[in-house]
Chains A and B, each alone.
Chain A
Amino acid sequence: MRKHTQWSRVLFLMVFSLEIVTSAFVSMYVAWFFAMSFSVINGIAMILAGIVGFALGALVFWRFSVKFSRWRSAFKR
């Protein structure tokens, strides 16, 4: 396989990983919105929501890499 094709895939996956951070940020915003009235709990709720959003984003990232590998194999065949 051509070297530049390999690197373009790798760079694409690298940039795609930003969706994990985005997912964590969105979850934090949602928690921020709902927990506005609890001044002390606010930060803790945000951190917990951020962790959940991050985990969901990471799951999407992994599933995408597995699918990508299957598409690659199917294309080869």
Chain B
Amino acid sequence: MVLIEVLIAFFITYFATPILIKKLKAHGVVGIDVHKSAKSVCAEMGGLAVLLGFVGAFGFTVLLLRDFDFHITSAFLTIVFAGIVGIVDDLFTLKQRYKPVLIAFVTTPLILANVGRAEIWFPLFGWIFLGTAYLIIIPLGVATASNLTNMLAGFNGLEVGVGAISCFSLGFLLALMGKWDAASLALALSAAFLAFLFYNWYPAKIFPGDTGTLFSGAAIAAVSISGGVEAAGIVMMVPSAIDFTLKMFSRSPFSHRKKFGDTVVAEDGTLISPGYAALAHAFMNVAQLKERDLVVVLLLMQALYSSLGIFLTLFLR
């Protein structure tokens, strides 16, 4: 049944994306690909296709199995609501400070489903008692995760690749632990991200937009919480967290691009860092990388931390 769900998510996203590209371009929902010399125009808000694939797959499971597990349904609702916040952001450009508040607000179903839980397992420490603070950590965690993935973005295939790798790793881990409900959610998400990657990989035809990035982070956090593998989710978010922390070192963390400008693209396609601290810029400092190389490096880093999350949870729990 999980396989059918994964296939549904993959094919809905795969066939919906080209239609969406045409429609979005026709309605002027487009963005400039800043890391190309040609500065080409691509369709924006493609995360909607991923959302459609995910909703279709989950709808199939619920309709066919009539299996309403409250934990999984609450995670599903939180992820979909985060996607809707992303759609609103793409269409009306929300201020940065409103996004975490709105995402925290949409975690209400997840909070309700987890009333009574008070402990979290952490590698090397075991079960840590948090009391009612656990319920406060849910909106904080989901809002933080969705905004972290929203910040480590802007290169063809990066956001979607990170989503695909993280969700696949979470699905794999949860399947090994025998938690098939949560695993099916994560694997359906990774299949939808993978299908979208065919169109978003360098040179991109469509960008995921905030619909895709906010949704991706919220999905990782919500699946981790509903599957009880919060520590693995935290470890998988490390690359995005490093990027966020480095950007916060700056005196004006939310207006880097105004102050320093965009990444410069040399004639041969090599990227030159604008100078402020960020994860992608750290790699640009040590090597001459083109956009595709940089994305491969960041995805490898994501795979490293995803493997670490799986390893720590499986072997130390």
What interface size band does chain B fall in?
Answer: 20 to 34
Please give, as numbers and ranges, the residues of chain B lying within 8 Å of A12 by CB-CB distance: 286
A1-37 vs B: 1/0 string, CB under 8 Å? Answer: 1000011011111110100110001001100100000
* A-contacting residues, B119-161, CB 8 Å: 120, 122, 124-125, 128-131, 133, 137
Establish whether residues A14 and B242, one from each chain, have CB atoms under 8 Å apart when the complex forms: no
The binding surface of chain B is classed by DSSP as helix
Given A6-B287, A13-B286, A14-B300, residue A62 in contact with residue B246 (CB < 8 A): yes
With an 8 A cutoff between CB atoms, is B263 at the interface? no
Kindly list 20 other residue pairs between chains A and B, CB separation below 8 angstroms, not including A21-B235, A62-B246, A62-B277.
Answer: A6-B287, A7-B287, A10-B286, A10-B289, A10-B297, A11-B300, A14-B300, A17-B239, A17-B301, A43-B120, A46-B128, A54-B241, A58-B242, A58-B249, A59-B249, A62-B282, A65-B286, A68-B286, A69-B285, A69-B286
Q: Give the 8 A-B CB pairs with smallest separation, nearest first.
A: A65-B282, A69-B285, A6-B287, A58-B245, A43-B130, A65-B285, A43-B128, A9-B286
With an 8 A cutoff between CB atoms, is B15 at the interface? no
Residues of chain A at the chain B interface (Cβ within 8 Å) = 1, 6-7, 9-15, 17, 20-21, 25, 28-29, 32, 39-40, 42-44, 46-47, 54-55, 58-59, 61-62, 65-66, 68-69, 72
